[in-house]
Chains A and B, each alone.
Chain A
Amino acid sequence: MKKTMYEKIWDAHVVHEPKGSASILFVDRHLMHEVTSPQAFEGLRIANRPVRNPHSILATMDHCVPTKAADRVSLPDPIGKKQIEVMAQNCADNSINLYDMNNANNGVIHIVVPEHGFVHPGMVVCCGDSHTATHGAFGALAFGIGTSEVEHIMATQTIQQQKSKTMLVKVDGELSEFATAKDIVLAIIGKIGTAGGTGYVIEFAGSAIEALSMEGRMTVCNMAIEGGARAGLIAPDQKTYDFLKGKEFAPQGEYWEQAVAYWESLTTDEGAEYDAVVELAAADIAPQITWGTSPEQVLPVDQAIPDPAQIEDSIKSLAAKSALNYMGLEAGKKMTDFPVDVVFVGSCTNGRIEDFRAAAEMTKGKKVAQGVQAIAVPGSYPVKEQAEKEGLDKIFIDAGWEWREPGCSMCLAMNGDYLQPEQRCASTSNRNFEGRQGKGGRTHLVSPAMAAAAAVEGKFVDLRNWK
C-alpha cells in the first residue's frame, strides 16, 4: 500500500495495538522545560519509578528565565526561581542532559534542540509544550503533551495515541519579496481556521515550502498547532541533511550514510492519499498581520479590518466583535492606521538567526520611533553569539532596541517581560490570545521584518511600499 510520511513514521513506532484502546507508540526524543515537568518527576518519585532512558531527553530552562542579565543572577520572582531550582535538581537526580540558564547552549527548547541535531527525520518526538510541532521541519513526528504524558514517557518511553488523519497543505510558486515563512503559515491558518487541522497531522509541501531554509520550515511547522493540527511535517531533503551533518547528536561516521538512506525512504509515496488537501499559491501571499485574539483572525496588511456585521457565521461574528473590542480596533480601518507601543522579536517561532538578520535589515541606519519599546530576544545563546559576530546587536542597540538574553520572554509573559493593559504590540510570536502577553495586552502577530519596520515608524507599515 502507498503510504504518507506520517503513516510510515507511525508504523515504524507502533509497539502494541491493544484491542479497543489507544495504540502504544514508541518515543525517540523527549524534550523538557521547567514549567510542565516538575509534577511529572514528583509522580515518578511517589510511584518509585525510574526514568527509563535519560539519554532520550534534552532539557532546558526557558519559560520563566529572566532576559535581563542582572535578573538572571538575582532571580527576582521567587516562584520562578523555585521552578528553576527544582528543574536543576530533577535533571541532576536522573542524569538528564540540561542546558541550564547559564549554559552556553541555553535557550528556548525548540530553538536549542535543532542546534545540536538532537532530532532526526523519522523520529517520534514529544514535549510538554504545544509548539513541539516545530521539529516536524526535519520530517519528525513531533507533538505537544500534558504533564501526565511527560511522566508516562519518562516511565515507559512510549505514549498512548490515537492515529490522526492526514492533510496535505501544498504551497506552490514563488513568494513575493516581502513575504516570509511566517506569512505563509499565517495565510494557511487564515484559510483553514484554528480548528481546520483538528484531528489531522499536516504535511506541508510544494515548491514554496521546499525553497524555504530550515529556519523557515521550522517557523511553518511551529504554528501547525495554531491551525489545530496535532503536528506538522515537511519531507527531509538535502537541506535537512546539510543542516544536521556534523552536529553533536547527528549520526556520526559510518552511520551517516545509513541514516540518510533511511531518511530518504520516509517521504510520502508517489500516489499516496491524504484525507484532505489544501492548496495555496505562494505568489498570492502578502505580508500578514493578525487583527484579533485568535491566529485565524489574520489578514494581508493592506486589507481592511472585517466588519463583524458582515460575517455570516454567527459564532465567528460574535468572536470578531469581542476581539475588536478587546483589541481597541475599528472595522473598516487598516492595521497600518494603528500605532504600536511595543515591538517583540523572538520566540520559538521567529527567534533564529535568520529572523534577527531580517529585522536588522529593516533597522539598519534607522531609529526606533519615539515612545516605542523594542526588544530583541535571541532564541538561544548560540543565536545571540552568531548575531553579535555579524554585528546585528550593534544595529539594534544603535537604533534604540534592547538586546536581551535568550528565553521565551514576551511570548507568554511568564518571566517578568509583559505588556501593560491596552499596550499594542507587534510580535513575532505565535499566539495572540487575550492576556497572552500580559493582562489587557494587545498582540499582533507578524514576521520579523514587519515588526522591525513597525518599530521604526511607530505604526504598522506595508513593507511593499515602505522605503
Chain B
Amino acid sequence: MQPYEKHNSVAAVMNRSNVDTDQIIAKQFLKKVERTGFGIHLFHDWRYLEDGSDNPEFELNRPEFKGAKILIAGDNFGCGSSREHAPWSIADYGFNTIISTSYADIFFSNCFKNGILPIKVDAKTLQALMDEVEAEPGISITIDLENQVINTPAGNEITFDVDPFRKETLSKGLDDIGWTLKFEDKIDEFEVKHKQQLPWLWPSA
C-alpha cells in the first residue's frame, strides 16, 4: 500500500445519505476474480445512462470534480454488506479520503485495510464543507493525517480523530499484513513451540 501522505486535492461533494454497498458496487460486478479494475463500475447505476454514456446529472461526472481524491458525502456512508469490493472500487476510482458524519462499521474498517482514510466530522462541519465546495466547485483542500487536520481555501481548519494504530499503518502504507509481519519473529517462535506441543498438527508434505 502507498503511504498516506499530506495532500492538497480536489474535493467532490455527494450530498446523499445512506449510500449503501450495493450502490457503491452493484451485484453484477462481484464475480470478478481481480481486486483491481472496479473503479469503472463505481456507482454504476447512478453514473451511467442506459446507453453506457456518462450521466451528466451525476455529481462525480461534473468536470470540476475530475481527479478528485476527496469525497465529501452524507450520513451513514457504506452501509449494507461486508464485501470489500466497495472500498476496492472507491480506491481504484482514485479516492483516498472520505469525509462524512458516520460510516457502517465494517465498511469503516475495510477502508483502512485498503488505503482509504474515512474522516468523521460533525453535521455542522460537514455542511460547512459542502457549502464551501458548492460555492466554488473544483477547489482543493488539504488533508494532513500526521497532524489530524483539514485545511480549506477559505481558511477553515478542522481537526479530526483517528485511532493511533490505524493512523500508523495508514501513514506508513503498512497494510495489515505488513503490520503483522513486523512481528514475524514472534510468529516463527510461536509456530515452533506450537508444533512441538501438537506434533500431529499438520499433515506432512
A contact set with B: CB distance below 8 Å: 15-16, 18, 20-21, 24, 26, 28, 35, 38-39, 42-43, 47, 49, 53, 55-56, 64, 79-80, 82-83, 86, 120, 146-148, 151-152, 155-158, 160, 248-249, 251-252, 255, 258-259, 262
Do A47 and B33 form a contact, CB below 8 Å, given A26-B187, A28-B201, A157-B187? Answer: no
Which listed residue (B113, B164, B177) contacts A155, Cβ 8 A?
B177
A41 closest partner in B (C-beta):
B33
Interface-side segment among B55-63, B116-124, B151-159, B190-198: B190-198
Which listed residue (B36, B176, B190) contacts A26, Cβ 8 A?
B190
Q: Smallest Cβ distance from A318 to chain B, in angstroms? A: 16
Do A148 and B31 form a contact, CB below 8 Å, given A26-B190, A53-B202? Answer: no
Q: Which residues of A contact B198 (CB under 8 A)?
A: 259, 262
A selection of 16 A-B contacts at a CB cut-off of 8 Å is A15-B183, A15-B186, A15-B187, A16-B186, A20-B165, A35-B31, A38-B34, A39-B33, A39-B84, A42-B33, A49-B177, A55-B203, A79-B32, A155-B181, A156-B187, A158-B187
- Contact yes or no, B34 A42, CB < 8 A: yes
- Contact yes or no, B34 A79, CB < 8 A: no
Q: Which residues of A contact B52 (CB under 8 A)?
A: none
- B: interface residue count bin: 35 or more
In the complex, per-residue mask of B96-116: 1 if CB is within 8 Å of any chain A CB, else 0:
000000000010001001100
B106 closest partner in A (C-beta):
A146
- Contact yes or no, B31 A156, CB < 8 A: no
Which listed residue (B113, B200, B204) contacts A148, Cβ 8 A?
B113
Q: Which residues of B contact A120 (CB under 8 A)?
A: 200
In the complex, per-residue mask of B163-200: 1 if CB is within 8 Å of any chain A CB, else 0:
01100000000011100110110110011001000111
Q: Which residues of B contact A251 (CB under 8 A)?
A: 200
Determine the distance from Cα of A160 to Cα of B204 in the docked complex, in whole angstroms.
27
Do A83 and B164 form a contact, CB below 8 Å, given A15-B183, A16-B183, A255-B200? Answer: no
Which listed residue (B33, B106, B180, B184) contacts A152, Cβ 8 A?
B180
Q: Smallest Cβ distance from B204 to chain A, in angstroms? A: 8
Do A152 and B177 form a contact, CB below 8 Å, given A28-B201, A55-B203, A255-B200? Answer: yes
- Contact yes or no, A26 B177, CB < 8 A: no
Which listed residue (B32, B84, B180) contacts A24, Cβ 8 A?
B180
Q: Smallest Cβ distance from A428 to chain B, in angstroms? A: 24
- Contact yes or no, B203 A42, CB < 8 A: no
Which listed residue (A18, A146, A147, A262) contacts B183, Cβ 8 A?
A18
A150 closest partner in B (C-beta):
B84
Determine the distance from Cα of A86 to Cα of B36 in the docked complex, in whole angstroms.
15
- Contact yes or no, B183 A24, CB < 8 A: yes
B205 located at the interface, meaning its Cβ lies under 8 Å from any Cβ of chain A in the complex:
yes
Do A146 and B82 form a contact, CB below 8 Å, given A26-B187, A56-B202? Answer: yes
> Beyond the given A160-B180, A252-B200, could you list 11 further A-B residue pairs with CB under 8 A, ordered by the A residue number?
A15-B183, A20-B165, A24-B183, A38-B33, A42-B33, A42-B34, A43-B35, A147-B84, A157-B187, A255-B200, A258-B199
Determine the distance from Cα of A365 to Cα of B35 in the docked complex, in whole angstroms.
52
Counting from the closest, the 8 A-B pairs by CB-CB distance are: A251-B200, A38-B33, A39-B35, A255-B200, A79-B31, A21-B165, A15-B190, A86-B33
Q: Which residues of A contact B203 (CB under 8 A)?
A: 55, 248-249
Which listed residue (A18, A53, A148, A259) contacts B176, Cβ 8 A?
A148
A14 closest partner in B (C-beta):
B190
A151 closest partner in B (C-beta):
B177
Do A55 and B194 form a contact, CB below 8 Å, given A38-B34, A42-B35, A158-B187? Answer: no
Do A259 and B200 form a contact, CB below 8 Å, given A20-B165, A26-B191, A86-B33? Answer: yes
Do A83 and B35 form a contact, CB below 8 Å, given A151-B177, A156-B177? Answer: no
